[in-house]
Structure 1
Amino acid sequence: MDNNIEKLFKLSGTIGEIHNSICRSAGQQDILTAILDIVGALVLILDREGRVICFNHTCEETSGYGFEEVRGKCLWDFLTREEDTDSAKVNFKKILEGNYPAAYENFWSSKDGTEHLIAWSSTALVNENSEVTYVIATGIDITERKLTEQRLQYLSHFDSLTDLPNRTLFYDRLSHVLGHSRRYNQMFALLFLDIDGFKFINNSLGHDMGDLLLKMAAARLPKCVRESDTVAHAGADEFVIILPLLEQVREASLVAEKILDAFSAPFYLDTHECFVTMSVGISIYPGDGDDIDTLLRNSDIAMYQAKGKGGNTYQFYNPDMNSRALRRLQLENNLRKALEKNEFRLHYQPKIDLNSWSVSGVEALIRWQNPQLGMISPAEFIPLAEETGVIISIGEWVLRTACTQAKHWQDIGCNGILMSVNLSARQFKSKNLLSSIENILRETGLPPGSLELELTETVVMDDAEATIKILREIKNMGIHIAIDDFGMGYSSLSYLKRFPIDCLKIDRSFVNDITTDTDDAAIATAIIAMSHSLKLKVIAEGVETNGQLYFLCALGCDEAQGYLFSRPLSVEDIEVYITSKEIKLGTN
């Protein structure tokens, strides 16, 4: 028996004493049973203070410590985490008080810093007076088993390909969000996403590349949402997103826009550069359903509606949304593709020199002719283009098209026509504005002096100091600069003097009642007088009556444009107007 104990325990110095203690507290059969129970396990014998007096070979292999390194130290000195240390002390105290056996788990730190999760079972040894003399702690390293359990638990809730929550976890979270939203009367959104053209990727590049695309797509999606949102892989090329705690429906569309923007960048699949887009359907609780199945079905239907519009867009399901909101969604969905589909046209409204009574220039005005929605007014789609950022590419197209047209007119002998083009706020702030203007002038061959850029008063006063620098660079190119809608903003005379501009355009709201409203007449008079004192040209826009025209002429206004002279005309009609050299009032 002593040989068996010597094999099991590597005791130093006190083996005889410990052996005698064990033998006094239990029979030989009990010792044999104990030895059989602990073979292959970690075994420590602790004194009443919790200090190690026995440390078997399995302990040494697991911890990396030799017995001499641990002799006299307490069991909890090797525990990694503070909470484990506290519980170990509590358990040890219970054993001393006779509340044994005790089973528990804690993380044990080995000499090299590796953590081992140990499952412990402790038993007290007592003397003939039933007093606890030693505590035997037996343990099993369950680290690998726990890791396996955790992996299995992970796989039961997460998709192994994308590492996103799978359908099981998604349904669980959606159920919680639905219950919370019902209880507190809160709104949430459900987004159903599908990769456009995924089948083609799979068929042309193979399923391995298709899987790689899914992984890369899954990596982009979480960056488009909040930490509190859930992005899950629904299977195949479909993803679902839960957006809880929404204040406005617009928040859901903002997330959809982020997703579309995130997928505008190429995917690199091995040696292949691929461009793929997303179709996104959105349902909103409670308007689109009060249960999981209805919300999922409606978001799925909306996704297919988006896909039917050509993909790379999002669609709300809500059939009860007002017509204006639906119109906005329709415009936004179509606006992103209007350029590539060549749906934009430029019309031109003539400007009349009130001194020479001739056409001094034209203003290029964009029009959008959509096959489904018909002719769309700039007042309707320009703000949306600004908001979505599409205005940058649209603005470049307008500038290039207008300059090309102006150069054509010069080539056919229509000289002296100044082409005016509006710059949007977002376009003006673009870091590529100056290089874009230079490139377009170089490509089209239009002399800079034949181009005038119009900016609203509000735009130029937003960060006026920075605006002055940009305007000076534009002016140094030889381009004319006009302030549009003047009188509606908040520019001060001190800044107006510093702006390198050529012209002020009186806003149509003042011109409209100039003959009937003394305040409007006074404002128009002041603007014209101030402009002339600064050696600036003045143009009145929105002139529609003879009375307005005569009043402006009496004030010395330099130029005018409006329906009294002509509505915006197509390229063909404006060429006829320019070449006729005859200005007719109220007939156009």
Structure 2
Amino acid sequence: DLAKYKIYYSDEAYKILGIKPEEYDNTYESFLKYVHPDDVKKIENLLENPCKDPYKLEFRIIRPDGSIRNIYQLVEFVFDDAGNPYFIYGTIQDITEQKNLQAEIERKQEEINKIQKKYEVLVQESTDVFEIIASDGTIKYISKASETVIGYKPEERLGKKIYDYYQGEELAKISRMVQFVLKDFNNRTKGHVVFKNKTGKNIYLEVYMHNLLHEPAIEGIAINFRDITQKVELGKHMAYMATHDEVTDLPNSVYFRRRLKNQCIQARKNQTKFAVMMLDLDGLKNIKYSLGYDIERKLIIDIVERLKLNLEDDIFLSRFSEDHFAFLISNPRTYDEYKAIAVKFLKLFSQPYKMKNYELDISANIGISIYPDDGQDEANLRKQANIALIRAKKEGKNRFKFYSSDLDIQNYRDFILRSDLHYAIEKGHLKIYYQPIVNLKTNEILAVEVLVRWEHPNWGLISSEEFIALAEETSFIVNIENWVLKEICRNYKQWLKNGLPQIKVFINSPSIQFFESDFVDNIKNIIDEFELDPRFLIIEIAENVLTKNIKKVSADIEKLRVLGIEVALNDFGTAFSSLASLYSFKVDYLKLNSLFIKNAILDERSNTITSFIIRMARELKIKLVAEGIENGEQLLYLKELNCYAGQGNIYTKPLVLEDFEKILAKRECKPRLIKVKKILRKEKRKFFRIKFHQLLEATMTVLTIKGETVNVGNTKVLIENIGPGGLSFISNIRFPVEKYFILQFITRLIGEDIKVYGYPARREKLGDDLFKYGIEFTIDENERTNLTRILNQVQVKMRNNILFAEGDFISTSPYAYFNSYNN
């Protein structure tokens, strides 16, 4: 009622409003209190602007309980004769549920729209192409990415067959994929194909197919494919990098082994010969350490270019390692032709290489093996070529050698040691020994010298001189010295923890390590790793190192001294530049070579030199350590000359860690009384022995090691005596005294061939390079009976003829024989 501004509701309307009739005074003002504040304006606008036609209105009310409801109202105004509204009537509905449902529908639709939009964006913007084909290969749908990936717009491919875009093997591939997925619903497959894009360029596609013919929304084979050309090319590049040398771009050892293996298969099939050549450069490492990496790199590139110019069509060249090149000559040739090729390559190193302002002297050696004579597989052919290479290197610079079964055991041994040295650390074959350095007056332990020994599992104990030379030759010496220094630091730290004396530790620095650019930094970093004071360390340097690169060596010595690391000059007096070295370099210790001590007592000249060196060291305030003191006479002599310190077997032989720690705990090491006695060995042999008046020449080979047959050549030895149970022989090769090491001997007596075998039971050192061995035979009784028969005849002949010589006897001394044999 607009005249009274009163509102009247039905019972249902009161329910919608959430109020009771008695709680409501029917006034317009009270009604507005229930209207949502944001919707009051709608009500006011309606009253201010009444309309002639029925009017729909939606607004919200807030019930007394605080709940909000959505109201739909349909109203109509009643006008008087003057056209003024005086009454409003109508209906209201609670449409809250409908509104909520509509909002939920709209929200869901919005989500659907977003998903659809995402799908459209993903498909259209994706670098993957999505395609649907019919069972006959007709393209029914293709996404816009088609133009980006393969160059074709969707409309250019729609309606055409997928097979129209492939040829040859690629067509066969795509056909096989389609046929496979058609065999069953939901079948899937994936593959790679080469596709020629619209510009004619071949690209690699990764194709995925899924049979969705049964899906109403698809009714076809769903395909998606992507361009993987970059990935394939990267894979090819990575494969190339893995099989090629970075500096020279030549195939590397991985590639060469693969190529050689395939060559063996082809040669076996075609029954043809081919050759493997291994070329080793000498002098390269010294250039790198002296002049730097850049010069070495340019030199290698220059060498490779010259080698390439001399290659023939069937010669494959590989950089097998840093200073090692491998050649595969695939076509059969004569030995003279192989020889001519080797000579041609070696001539490239007859003159120095000119690089900037330097003339670089590089030499080379070549080892050659022939298939199938020297091996029928990749590993053996490489091995035999390397054995031949070792022999060539022994003969001097720019030499070559063919492998032959006549190559002696020493070459085989050298090859095995070179190969196994690289695994000596990780397999625990290198052992550290400690020899105390003692104050000669007080017997106090002043320091200890660290010595490294190699206990080879098959060849026994390898002298440090021998394996250090091999390690320097292969640059593995740096790994060994780093390992040794870490072990020393680890043990020294434990000594300090256990309260043992803080003595000095002498460690020898090989020449090749001293030429490393980061030599001193490397030492410092290792010591820092164990948090030790560097002053416990003394670096021993050989005299020949001082003359090679005076500026660098002098700078490094100064760096060591700044760190508190003292320097000792090793084997002092053995080089021509000894006195000059003292003038040019600041050293803290001199180590007097044992040869002076041995000769000084018997030789007046040696005595004069030795006493001079000791007196000079004292006056220069350089501490002197005498090496190799063997007996009391030598010790007394050194004490009389006031020699500061010494070491040698008179105190103790080099000891393992546990034994040295026991001596160190006592803080002193007293000299032992060494009595030299000639011990007569009682004859315990079960069989007789024939001692020859002259030495009998024999050919010897290693038959088995630990039950495994060894493919090794022969060497010459000299038999001193022989019997049914064994023999004694002289050799210039050091063999292990082990039952598992079976040697075979072939010789000739009284016109009959003798072949026997057994293991070394005894070894005696005769000189620097000669050893005498006692062999116990492992022959069977039939062989022993036959040997006894021959030896009985020999005994009879020797009794009847003192000048008996019916055999391969020699008339020279063992020293002369082996010197001539080696040369």
> Given the two structures, how large is their TM-score scaled by the length of structure 2?
0.39
Match of 2:239 among 213, 236, 243: 213
Match of 1:296 among 367, 371, 395: 371
User: How much has 1:586 moved relative to structure 2?
Assistant: 3.2
CA RMSD of aligned residues (A): 4.7
Residue by residue, what CA displacement relative to the aligned partner does 1:494-528 show, whole Å, maximum 9, x if unpaired?
54134221110111111112211112111111111
CA distance in 2, matches of 1:281, 1:543: 56
Matches within 5 A, 1:171-190: none
User: How much has 1:385 moved relative to structure 2?
Assistant: 0.8
Residue by residue, what CA displacement relative to the aligned partner does 1:46-100 show, whole Å, maximum 9, x if unpaired?
xxxxxxxxxxxxxxxxxxxxxxxxxxxxxxxxxxxxxxxxxxxxxxxxxxxxxxx
- Corresponding residue number in structure 2 for 1:413: 499
Residue by residue, what CA displacement relative to the aligned partner does 1:463-502 show, whole Å, maximum 9, x if unpaired?
3233211100100000111000000113354541342211
Matches within 5 A, 1:333-412: 333-412=419-498
Contact 1:565 1:583 in 2 (8 A): yes
Contact 1:368 1:376 in 2 (8 A): yes
2:431 maps to a residue whose letter is: R
Distance 1:257 1:491, change over 3 A: farther
CA distance in 2, matches of 1:455, 1:563: 23
CA distance in 1, matches of 2:573, 2:640: 20
1:213 maps to a residue whose letter is: A
Matches within 5 A, 1:490-529: 490-491=576-577, 493=579, 495-529=581-615
Residue by residue, what CA displacement relative to the aligned partner does 1:375-425 show, whole Å, maximum 9, x if unpaired?
211111111111111111111111121122122212211123111100000
CA distance in 2, matches of 1:284, 1:353: 68
Match of 2:654 among 557, 568, 587: 568
What percent of counterpart residues are identical?
Answer: 27
Q: Does 2:483 match 1:433?
A: no
Q: How many positions carry a matched residue from both structures?
A: 359
1:512 maps to a residue whose letter is: K
User: How much has 1:279 moved relative to structure 2?
Assistant: 13
Distance 1:449 1:286, change over 3 A: same
Residue by residue, what CA displacement relative to the aligned partner does 1:184-213 show, whole Å, maximum 9, x if unpaired?
xxxxxxxxxxxxxxxxxxxxx999968973
User: How much has 1:432 moved relative to structure 2?
Assistant: 1.7
User: How much has 1:300 moved relative to structure 2?
Assistant: 4.2
Distance 1:554 1:263, change over 3 A: closer
- Corresponding residue number in structure 1 for 2:663: 577
Q: Secondary structure at the match of 2:370?
A: helix
User: How much has 1:353 moved relative to structure 2?
Assistant: 0.7
CA distance in 2, matches of 1:393, 1:258: 26
Contact 1:541 1:561 in 2 (8 A): yes
Residue by residue, what CA displacement relative to the aligned partner does 1:530-573 show, whole Å, maximum 9, x if unpaired?
11111100110011011111111111110000111111110011
CA distance in 1, matches of 2:329, 2:456: 23
- Corresponding residue number in structure 2 for 1:22: none
CA distance in 1, matches of 2:377, 2:261: 18
Q: Secondary structure at the match of 2:600?
A: coil
Residue by residue, what CA displacement relative to the aligned partner does 1:418-463 show, whole Å, maximum 9, x if unpaired?
1110000001111121111111110122221111110111112323
- Corresponding residue number in structure 2 for 1:154: none
Larger C-alpha radius of gyration, 1 or 2? 2
1:510 maps to a residue whose letter is: F
- Corresponding residue number in structure 2 for 1:326: 412
Match of 2:568 among 482, 489, 511: 482
Contact 1:458 1:490 in 2 (8 A): no
User: How much has 1:341 moved relative to structure 2?
Assistant: 2.3
Q: Secondary structure at the match of 2:411?
A: helix
Distance 1:263 1:428, change over 3 A: closer
User: How much has 1:585 moved relative to structure 2?
Assistant: 2.4
Distance 1:457 1:211, change over 3 A: closer
User: How much has 1:308 moved relative to structure 2?
Assistant: 10
Contact 1:482 1:501 in 2 (8 A): yes
Contact 1:281 1:306 in 2 (8 A): no
Distance 1:219 1:379, change over 3 A: closer
2:372 maps to a residue whose letter is: R
Which residues of structure 2 form unaligned runs of 5+?
A: 1-230, 266-273, 283-306, 308-315, 340-368, 389-402, 675-823
User: How much has 1:327 moved relative to structure 2?
Assistant: 1.1
Q: Which has the higher helix share?
A: 1
1:261 maps to a residue whose letter is: S
Q: Does 2:457 match 1:457?
A: no
Distance 1:344 1:324, change over 3 A: same
CA distance in 1, matches of 2:275, 2:244: 11
Contact 2:626 2:646 in 1 (8 A): yes
Q: Secondary structure at the match of 1:337?
A: coil
Distance 1:412 1:510, change over 3 A: same
Contact 1:354 1:559 in 2 (8 A): yes
Q: Does 2:534 match 1:448?
A: yes
CA distance in 2, matches of 1:215, 1:241: 26
Distance 1:584 1:260, change over 3 A: farther
Q: Secondary structure at the match of 2:321?
A: helix
2:439 maps to a residue whose letter is: D
Contact 1:285 1:295 in 2 (8 A): no
Distance 1:232 1:518, change over 3 A: same
Contact 1:540 1:561 in 2 (8 A): yes
Distance 1:218 1:467, change over 3 A: closer
Residue by residue, what CA displacement relative to the aligned partner does 1:140-197 show, whole Å, maximum 9, x if unpaired?
xxxxxxxxxxxxxxxxxxxxxxxxxxxxxxxxxxxxxxxxxxxxxxxxxxxxxxxxxx
Contact 2:539 2:567 in 1 (8 A): yes
User: How much has 1:257 moved relative to structure 2?
Assistant: 13
Contact 2:443 2:669 in 1 (8 A): yes
Contact 1:281 1:303 in 2 (8 A): no
Which residues of structure 1 form unaligned runs of 5+?
A: 1-204, 249-254, 265-277
Distance 1:355 1:246, change over 3 A: closer
Q: Does 2:287 match 1:261?
A: no
1:333 maps to a residue whose letter is: S
CA distance in 2, matches of 1:479, 1:257: 47
Distance 1:438 1:247, change over 3 A: closer
Distance 1:415 1:477, change over 3 A: same
Matches within 5 A, 1:94-173: none
CA distance in 1, matches of 2:597, 2:502: 26
Residue by residue, what CA displacement relative to the aligned partner does 1:96-154 show, whole Å, maximum 9, x if unpaired?
xxxxxxxxxxxxxxxxxxxxxxxxxxxxxxxxxxxxxxxxxxxxxxxxxxxxxxxxxxx
CA distance in 2, matches of 1:508, 1:217: 51
Distance 1:525 1:257, change over 3 A: farther
CA distance in 1, matches of 2:443, 2:261: 70
2:321 maps to a residue whose letter is: D
2:592 maps to a residue whose letter is: I
CA distance in 2, matches of 1:584, 1:388: 40
CA distance in 1, matches of 2:526, 2:281: 44
1:523 maps to a residue whose letter is: I
User: How much has 1:258 moved relative to structure 2?
Assistant: 8.6
